[in-house]
């Protein structure tokens, strides 16, 4: 065909662009999202873009490598402040994200058209920023005079999951340290590939699949009564004694004389079924069993047998609560609700939903009017009932505040008006149902059954305020404000009385921990910001964090040495402390900070050994939550490779060997599950068992003798690797976490490979 001037001038009509640039170049189907799934899975989500002139960069498929070289040689994005300096600093992150999506200039025949397209993109961006609504005057005031180090970046929060299946974690969540540890994830993946840990996971896969195939996911257990779920009387009494020596010395839920008065006749045959006492005893068993010192236990794919039994009791208590009348509410229903929250925490049951459970509990307490002082009820509430209301409200406040800290959100108490006065510092025997007047509260120096709640109430307003400030989305504290807050915390710590009785150590330790954790939280963001390393305030924050974290771990170990496992099963401040110590050690070595290196060398190994003891007990008690052990082990080895580079290979091997050691021990104690875990409990009337639904075989209640002892044996059974399922293994690699920095880890070129574990398994097979 001859090309005449007319045919040359006639432009060929272009097809509509139906895919992003990368998918179009590779001739693949695109889902038209931004970024599309192919770019996300390929690790180039930040380069996913749609342009009208995409045909210009499509080119030949034979020039793939040259195209990649061109992309790498592109100039960095234009900084927005060079164009307009009138926008608030807070917008910089969002502006940079928009600018990264602008069309880069590609070499081609029609360079002018590409430049025009780039100019059009810049104009559209500026127009959108000018039309964006400004902040309210209140929020603008908070952000004035804040230097870059005082304003939290996007990496102070992170999400887990994607789409509508996300879970949010804020600045005070212990795992936030991972967002400032960009080299940890690649290190974890590197040591996992080809390790003994990987082979153990593959070997256990067959056993897990077999258990999954035989498990009934919709099992509903019918029981004649709550009492039929209890083990033998001797075991029940041992667990009850453990409860009153641990949890009830701090969080006051029960009235001790009233409980033991009712318990004296509890085992009599004439006791009606499914009574209030049945529910309270079962709830006590559920929240204490995993923290009791036991001589022997077994494990299955669901965790420890103690955890499985405790979860069954939790669901039985939930079935009992559903039967109770909201109109004719009793003290027992409120007590069982509080005990249920402790049980969920100690058993790692519904871990992701624990915060929601606590918030639901607080909503119920507010709807019941527990946040108002009982004195306004007058004669409608007795003196005894009023004091029990105060105790339950104070306990609920402490549980909600700690749950908010662990989640990384402001406490609901920061926006709630309440006037319920703190419980008095009195002994339980001074309080009885027939009394007309409350006795005078004792001084803090005198220990009583309610000393914890009474002393904690004196600092609760400070802790609520600090939690709200640390998790605020709009405000950030200056260094001077941090110092003032730290001084307030130190003053509150100095006011904690130190009692002489040995059994008061748990109360004093919990009062100390819940305040000292804020010393760490206040300085964490500044200590982890390596851009501020040359500033004196950064050095002060580093030293303060090191002192507070080592003290936190020492406090936990003191309680652990008393065979008391209550605090390690309901708190996670030691996890934050261990990760922070590794973070400080690692970055001090990278920056050649000789002073910090000398300090941390003296405490690193000793403190990490203590942290492993606490983490190990937290994992073996319920048999769950052991992925945290792997995180700390990997962070420990990663920091150790900089201290001792000549032993780098051995230290990398230790990261997985520590977990393998626990894995081998648990395999020797693992049994096939006797029965599937029930998804729901149906209570009978005490005489005949209600019909069981969705059961393959008739269900019977196994009253297993737990053989509880007073001391822990020398070599207790250790943790099962519950996270090594086909899908759960990805959680061990942090693959489902993302940190508001697109899909690129901060200060690292490592992409978040969400298919890492799947690919490893496929290649190994």
pLDDT value of position 9 = 52
Superfamily of domain 18-51: Zn(2)-C6 fungal-type DNA-binding domain (4.10.240.10)
pLDDT tens-digit map of 461-497: 999 999 999 999 887 889 999 999 999 999 999 999 9
According to DSSP, the β-strands at 737-738 and 158-160 are: antiparallel
What is the per-residue pLDDT for 664?
81
* Cβ contacts of 158 within 8 Å, gap of 6 or more: 169, 175, 176, 178, 179, 737, 738, 739, 740
673-to-145, 298, 299, 309 alpha-carbon distances in Å:
61, 10, 8, 12
pLDDT tens digits, residue range 376-396? 999 999 999 999 999 999 999
Q: For residues 663 and 676, what is the distance between their CA atoms, to the nearest angstrom?
A: 23
685-695 mean pLDDT: 45
How much is the pLDDT for 279?
97
Q: What is the model's pLDDT at position 493? A: 98
Q: What is the mean pLDDT of residues 84-113?
A: 47
- 636-661 per-residue burial string, b: 16 or more CB within 10 A, e: under 16: bbbbbbbbeeeeeeebbbbbbbbbbe
Q: Residue length, the chain?
A: 765
Strand-pair category, 220-223 with 680-683:
parallel
Average pLDDT over residues 627-654: 94
d(CA 732, CA 537): 35
Rounded CA gap, 593 and 602, in Å? Answer: 15
Higher pLDDT, 86 or 677: 677
Indicate the range of 74-78, 292-296, 557-561 predicted with least confidence. Answer: 74-78
What SS3 state is found at 733? coil
Q: How far apart are CA 632 and CA 617, in angstroms?
A: 14
pLDDT of residue 735: 66
Region 415-426 average pLDDT: 96
Q: How confident is the model at residue 755 (pLDDT cuts 50, 70, 90)?
A: very low
Where do the domains of the chain lie?
18-51, 352-475
What is the average per-residue pLDDT within 368-382?
Answer: 95
In this structure, what token pair is assigned to residue 145?
A: 């005079």
Closest Cα to residue 485, out of 475, 477, 473? 477
Q: Taking residues 359-386, what's their average pLDDT?
A: 96
Complete DSSP assignment for 367-396:
HTTTTS-GGGGGGGS-HHHHHHHHHHHHHH
Burial group, residue 415, by CB count within 10 angstroms (0-12, 13-18, 19+) = exposed
Highest mean pLDDT among 297-301, 366-370, 525-529: 366-370
pLDDT digit string, tens, across residues 141-193: 344 444 434 444 445 788 888 889 899 999 999 999 998 888 999 999 999 88
Whether the Cβ atoms of residue 542 and residue 595 lie closer than 8 Å to each other: no
Res 100 pLDDT > 50:
no
Contacts for 174 with CB less than 8 Å, ≥ 6 apart = 406, 572, 573, 575, 576, 579
- Cβ atoms of 625 and 583 within 8 Å: the answer is no
Give 312-338 pLDDT, tens digit per residue.
Answer: 999 999 999 999 998 889 999 999 999
Confidence of residue 254 (pLDDT cuts 50, 70, 90): very high
List the beta bridge partners of residue 222: 682
Tens digit of each residue's pLDDT (9 = 90 or more) over 39-90? 877 777 777 887 654 443 334 433 444 444 333 333 343 333 333 333 444 4
- pLDDT on residue 634: 96
Is it the case that residue 558 has pLDDT exceeding 90?
yes
Lowest mean pLDDT among 119-128, 247-256, 500-509, 623-632: 119-128
Among residues of the chain, what percentage have pLDDT more than 90?
A: 53
Task: Identify each DSSP E strand in 572-675 by its residue range.
Answer: none
Rg of the chain's alpha carbons, rounded to an integer?
Answer: 30
CA 77/CA 57 separation, integer angstroms = 19
Q: Measured between alpha carbons, how far is 189 from 732 in angstroms, rounded to an integer?
A: 9
pLDDT of residue 76: 40
Q: What is the mean pLDDT of the chain?
A: 79
Q: Which of the two residues, 691 and 464, has the higher pLDDT score?
A: 464
The yes-or-no verdict on residue 296 having pLDDT over 90 is no
Instruction: Choose between 677 and 613: higher pLDDT.
Output: 613
Residue 28's pLDDT is: 84
Residues 6+ apart with CB under 8 A from 464: 401, 411, 413, 414
CA neighbor of 463 nearest in space, from 60, 172, 699: 172
pLDDT band at 373 (very low <50, low <70, confident <90, very high): very high
Ramachandran category for residue 426: left, alpha or beta (phi over 0 → left; psi -120 to 50 → alpha): beta
Give me 680's structure tokens: 């729901």
DSSP run (H or E) holding 683: strand 680-683
- Whole-number pLDDT of residue 111: 66
pTM greater than the 0.85 cutoff? no
Contact 513, 402 (CB under 8 A): no
Residue 649, SS3? helix
Of residues 239 and 120, the one with the higher pLDDT is 239
pLDDT value at position 732? 65
Q: What DSSP character marks residue 626?
A: T
Q: What angle do CA 620, 247, 386 make, to 5 degrees?
A: 150
Task: Read off the tokens for 609.
Answer: 């050994």
Taking the chain, what is the end-to-end CA distance rounded to the nearest angstrom? Answer: 57
Q: What is the pLDDT of residues 513-555, one digit of tens each?
A: 999 999 999 999 999 998 888 899 999 999 999 999 999 999 9
Give every CB contact of residue 452 below 8 A, 6+ residues apart in sequence.
249, 250, 251, 252, 507, 510, 511
pLDDT tens by residue, 567-594: 999 999 999 999 999 999 999 999 999 9
d(CA 440, CA 446): 13
The residues facing 168 across adjacent strands are 159
Question: What pLDDT score was predicted for residue 193?
Answer: 87
Provide DSSP, 276-322.
HHHHHHHHHHHHHGGGS-BS---EETTEEHHHHHHHHHHHHHHHHHH
**Lowest model confidence (mean pLDDT) among 250-254, 260-264, 272-276, 578-582:** 272-276
Sequential DSSP letters for 507-526: HHHHHHHHHHHHHHHHHHHH
């Amino acid at each position: 065909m001859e090309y005449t001037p007319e045919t040359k001038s006639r432009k060929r009509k272009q097809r509509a662009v139906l895919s992003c640039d990368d998918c179009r170049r590779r001739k693949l189907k695109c889902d038209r999202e931004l970024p599309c799934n192919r770019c996300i899975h390929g690790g180039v989500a930040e380069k996913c873009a749609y342009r009208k002139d995409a045909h210009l960069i499509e080119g030949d498929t034979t020039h793939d490598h040259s195209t990649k070289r061109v992309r790498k040689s592109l100039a960095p994005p234009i900084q927005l402040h060079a164009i307009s300096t009138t926008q608030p600093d807070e917008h910089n992150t969002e502006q940079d994200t928009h600018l990264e999506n602008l069309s880069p200039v590609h070499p081609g025949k029609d360079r002018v058209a590409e430049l025009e397209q780039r100019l059009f993109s810049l104009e559209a961006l500026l127009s959108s920023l000018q039309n964006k609504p400004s902040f309210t005057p209140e929020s603008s005031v908070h952000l004035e005079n804040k230097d870059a180090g005082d304003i939290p970046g996007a990496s102070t929060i992170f999400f887990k999951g994607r789409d509508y299946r996300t879970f949010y974690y804020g600045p005070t969540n212990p795992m936030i340290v991972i967002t400032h540890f960009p080299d940890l994830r690649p290190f974890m993946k590197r040591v996992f590939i080809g390790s003994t840990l990987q082979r153990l996971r593959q070997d256990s896969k067959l056993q897990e699949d077999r258990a999954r195939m035989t498990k009934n996911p919709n099992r509903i257990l019918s029981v004649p009564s709550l009492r039929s779920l209890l083990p033998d009387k001797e075991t029940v009494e041992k667990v009850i004694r453990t409860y009153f020596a641990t949890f009830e010395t701090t969080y006051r839920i029960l009235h001790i004389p009233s409980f033991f008065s009712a318990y004296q006749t509890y085992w009599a045959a004439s006791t009606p079924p499914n009574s209030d006492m049945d529910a309270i005893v079962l709830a006590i068993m559920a929240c204490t069993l995993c923290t009791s010192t036991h001589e022997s236990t077994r494990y299955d794919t669901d965790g420890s047998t103690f955890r499985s039994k405790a979860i069954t009791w939790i669901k039985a208590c939930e079935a009992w609560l559903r039967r109770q009348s909201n109109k004719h509410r009793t003290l027992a229903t409120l007590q069982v609700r509080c005990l249920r929250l402790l049980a969920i925490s100690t058993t790692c049951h519904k871990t992701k939903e624990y915060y929601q459970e606590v918030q639901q509990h607080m909503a119920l307490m507010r709807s019941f009017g527990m946040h108002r002082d009982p004195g306004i009820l007058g004669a409608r509430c007795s003196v005894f009932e009023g004091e029990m209301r105060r105790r339950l409200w104070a306990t609920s406040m402490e549980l909600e505040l700690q749950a908010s800290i662990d989640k990384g959100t402001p406490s609901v108490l920061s926006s709630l008006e309440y006037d319920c006065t703190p419980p008095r510092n009195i002994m339980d025997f001074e309080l009885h149902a027939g009394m007309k007047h409350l006795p005078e509260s004792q001084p803090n120096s005198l220990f009583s059954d309610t000393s914890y709640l009474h002393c904690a109430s004196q600092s609760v307003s400070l802790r609520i305020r600090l939690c709200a400030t640390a998790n605020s989305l709009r405000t950030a504290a200056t260094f001077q404000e941090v110092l003032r807050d730290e001084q307030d915390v130190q003053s509150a710590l100095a006011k904690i009385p130190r009692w002489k009785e040995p059994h008061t150590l748990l109360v004093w330790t919990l009062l100390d921990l819940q305040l000292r954790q804020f010393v760490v939280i206040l300085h964490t963001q500044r200590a982890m910001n390596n851009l501020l390393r040359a500033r004196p305030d950064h050095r002060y924050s580093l030293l303060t964090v090191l002192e507070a974290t080592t003290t936190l771990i020492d406090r936990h170990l003191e309680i652990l040495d008393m065979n008391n496992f209550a605090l390690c099963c309901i708190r996670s401040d030691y996890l934050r402390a261990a990760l922070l110590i590794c973070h400080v050690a690692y970055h001090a070595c990278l920056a050649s900070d000789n002073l910090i290196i000398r300090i941390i060398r003296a405490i690193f190994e000793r403190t990490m050994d203590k942290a492993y003891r606490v983490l190990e007990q937290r994992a073996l008690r319920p048999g769950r939550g052991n992925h945290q052990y792997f995180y700390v082990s990997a962070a420990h080895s990663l920091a150790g490779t900089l201290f001792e580079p000549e032993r780098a290979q051995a230290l990398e091997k230790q990261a997985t060997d520590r977990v393998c050691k626990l894995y081998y021990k648990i395999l020797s104690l693992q049994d096939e599950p006797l029965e599937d875990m029930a998804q729901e409990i149906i209570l009978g009337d005490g005489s005949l068992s209600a019909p069981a639904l969705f059961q393959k075989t008739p269900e019977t209640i196994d009253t297993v003798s737990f053989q509880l002892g007073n001391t822990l044996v020398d070599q207790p059974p250790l943790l099962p690797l519950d996270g090594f399922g086909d899908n759960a293994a990805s959680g061990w690699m942090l693959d489902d976490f993302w940190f508001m920095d697109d899909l690129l880890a901060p200060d690292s070129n490592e992409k978040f490979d969400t298919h890492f574990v799947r690919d490893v398994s496929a290649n190994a097979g």
